[in-house]
């Protein structure tokens, strides 16, 4: 893998995921860069996949050194955009809040609830008040391509659902889990926010791909969620998930017919976007 310090548009699609995705790109070049929000989690790997130029950033760092609440989310999204990325796929491991969505189920949610605290979740925290539309937090075209690709791969897939994002790094108590389920929410994770809203503030298309690794504490009996179980199920599915991401990359439209590119129209921004 070559390493470069160059800072130039190099990719059109970004993937934010785990270290298991390093091997899914061809002709990989490693790009080190900095941002106004510090360096991203690690150097970005840029290569080719299904004829498209793709940039990959490991969400937690290669050595998994960043816990969910300490991930440099702003730097990661800014770095992707600075390389030319305009569409982002975000695979992640999640817990299920519904018994029928067992481990191995893939869910492409359409809604998000933020239960984090203290995370920097905007680029526009000074200079001017900027309010972006976030009623529908995910790209409709990206979601459509993801569901279609997963169905074509015969992967049991749920189209829609609500992801509640907790602060972490601890898992939920049984009482919290039951409360989340009682609200009608489908999934619980630790990394989907502020990624989605930061992508929206940069006028990027953002599509989550949620792999269920466990039933959450209020749904499961026994000892509840363990890190060992999460890693085991994720490891069993990483190859299939990696292949699916490739199929979705190939299916994403080159032109963006969705509302995402236009969310900042008419807004006077207090900073210049890359």
Please give the positions annotated as active site: 214, 216
CB of 122 closer than 8 Å to CB of 200: no
Q: Which two tokens stand for residue 262?
A: 């236009």
Helix (H) or strand (E) holding 233: helix 227-251
Report how far apart the first and last C-alpha atoms of the chain are (Å, whole number).
Answer: 26
193, 114 contact by CB (below 8 A): yes
In b/e form, how buried is each residue of 9-30, taking b as 16+ CB within 10 angstroms?
A: ebbbbbbbbbbbbbebbeebbe
**Kind and range of the H or E element at 26?**
strand 26-31
Indicate the pairing of strand 157-159 with strand 44-49.
Answer: unpaired
Cβ proximity of 251 and 149 under 8 Å = yes
């Amino acid at each position: 893998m070559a390493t470069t310090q160059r800072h130039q548009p190099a990719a059109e699609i970004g993937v934010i995921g785990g270290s298991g995705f390093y091997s899914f790109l061809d002709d990989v070049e490693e790009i080190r860069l900095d941002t106004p929000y510090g360096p991203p989690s690690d150097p970005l790997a840029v290569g080719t996949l299904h004829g498209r130029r793709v940039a990959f950033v490991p969400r937690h760092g290669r050595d998994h050194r960043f816990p969910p609440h300490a991930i440099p989310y702003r730097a990661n999204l800014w770095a992707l955009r600075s390389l030319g990325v305009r569409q982002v796929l975000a695979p992640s491991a999640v817990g299920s809040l519904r018994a029928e969505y067992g481990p191995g189920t893939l869910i492409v949610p359409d809604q998000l609830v933020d239960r984090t605290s203290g995370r920097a979740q905007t680029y526009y925290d000074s200079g001017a008040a900027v309010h972006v539309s976030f009623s529908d937090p995910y790209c409709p075209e990206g979601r459509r391509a993801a569901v279609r690709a997963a169905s074509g791969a015969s992967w049991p897939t749920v189209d829609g659902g609500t992801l509640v994002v907790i602060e972490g790094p601890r898992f939920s108590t049984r009482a919290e889990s039951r409360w989340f389920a009682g609200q009608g929410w489908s999934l619980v994770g630790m990394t989907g926010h502020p990624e989605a809203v930061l992508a929206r503030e940069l006028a990027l298309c953002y599509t989550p791909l949620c792999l269920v690794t466990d039933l959450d504490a209020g749904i499961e009996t026994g000892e509840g969620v363990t890190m060992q179980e999460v890693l085991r199920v994720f490891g069993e599915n990483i190859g299939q998930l990696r292949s699916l991401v490739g199929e979705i990359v190939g299916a994403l439209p080159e032109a963006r017919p969705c509302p995402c590119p236009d969310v900042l129209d008419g807004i006077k921004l207090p900073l210049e976007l890359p």
